[in-house]
Amino acid sequence: MLDFIRKRRRRRLRAAPFPDAWRGVVERNFEMFHRLPAADRAELLGHMNVFLAEKTFEGCGGLEMTDEIRVTIAAQACLLLLHHDDPHYYPDLYTILVYPHAYVARAKEILPGGIVVEGTSARLGESWVRGCVVLSWDDVRRGASDVADGHNVVLHEFAHQLDQEDGTSDGAPILDRRSQYVAWARVLGDEFEKLRRSAERGTRTDIDTYGATNAAEFFAVVTEAFFERPRSLHKRHPELYEELAMFYKQDPLAGYAR
């Protein structure tokens, strides 16, 4: 019964008019919006109505939360939901914490031999398995305005959210069919190993070597490349591009990459 009520409420929100002031923010701040086909733009705004109604935003480090911040983040997060029937809208996410700039967080690293090293590190964003995404507003704006640099902190962290929907962060999000996992593991596994070897050798690559950290980071990094540098990804990594196109149900190269 609760699921029925939630789906009905979301249908109403998707069909509701999108506020003109919010649309102005999307058009000013999110360059990729202008590259989407008209039908995708309308769908994106509908998903944003749901996302903005269901998620809580909090400013941190002295940042005052505004509609511009909320709408700019929502536009990028909802790009990953296009063409999905009845999307879940990141079901384990409740709050987006936003800092004005890169922030410092405690970090723990396990070295060979089981040695645990604790310290701090500067971050642009992070995604928790349950409850929260953390973002730097400076980097949110930068990623939204430059759609060709291959870096977008919102796409990166919300790709982690999709990956984590099954409770683990392993680079294997929930796929439509069980049969898809074999090809997914083969293609992404092979590409991850190639990137890892390139990173070890110090060889230049077209995929950010941060993706060599682990399988979860690889999925988030190639998600950024898929949406921001589809031409390069399709040309040099065609099987990887096709797996991502199947998962996201989008073809940026054909649809709006020019």
Neighbours of 119 (CB within 10 A): 8
Cα(123)–Cα(4) distance, integer angstroms:
39
Give the DSSP per-residue string, 17-47.
PPPHHHHHHHHHH-GGGGGS-HHHHHHHHHH
Q: Identify which has the larger pLDDT, 4 or 120.
A: 4
**Percent of the chain with pLDDT strictly greater than 70:** 91
CA distances from 71 to 26, 29, 57 (A): 7, 9, 10
> Mean pLDDT highest for which of 99-108, 129-138, 152-161?
152-161
Q: What is the pLDDT of residues 101-113, one digit of tens each?
A: 987 666 555 445 5
Residue-wise pLDDT for 66-123, tens only, equals: 999 999 999 999 999 999 988 999 999 999 999 999 876 665 554 455 554 454 566 6
| Closest to 123 in 3D by CA, of 66, 77, 61 | 61
Percent of the chain residues past pLDDT 90, beyond the cut? 82
Q: pLDDT value at position 194? A: 97
Q: Is the pLDDT of residue 251 over 90?
A: yes
Higher pLDDT, 187 or 116: 187
pLDDT band at 188; cut points 50, 70, 90: very high
Which whole number is the average pLDDT over 46-75? 98
With a cut of 50, say whether residue 257 has pLDDT above it: no
Output the CA torsion 173→177→178→183 (10° steps).
-70
What is the average pLDDT value for the chain, to the nearest integer?
91
What domains sit in the chain, N to C, each tagged with a CATH number? 170-258 (3.40.390.10)
Cross-strand partners of 205? none
| C-alpha span between 245 and 128 (Å, rounded) | 25
Element (H, E) at 164: none
What is the rounded distance in angstroms from the CA atom of residue 198 to the CA atom of residue 137? 32
Instruction: Tell me the C-alpha distance between 174 and 10, whole Å.
Output: 22
d(CA 197, CA 241): 20
Q: Distance between CA atoms of 223 and 156, rounded to whole angstroms?
A: 7
pLDDT reading at 255 higher than 70:
no
Residue 99 pLDDT? 97
| Residues with Cβ within 8 Å of residue 62, at least 6 apart in sequence | 100
The pLDDT-based confidence of 144 (bands split at 50, 70, 90) is very high
Residue with tokens 């928790």: 128
Least confident of 64-78, 118-132, 159-173, 187-201: 118-132
Q: Which pLDDT score is estimated for 118?
A: 55
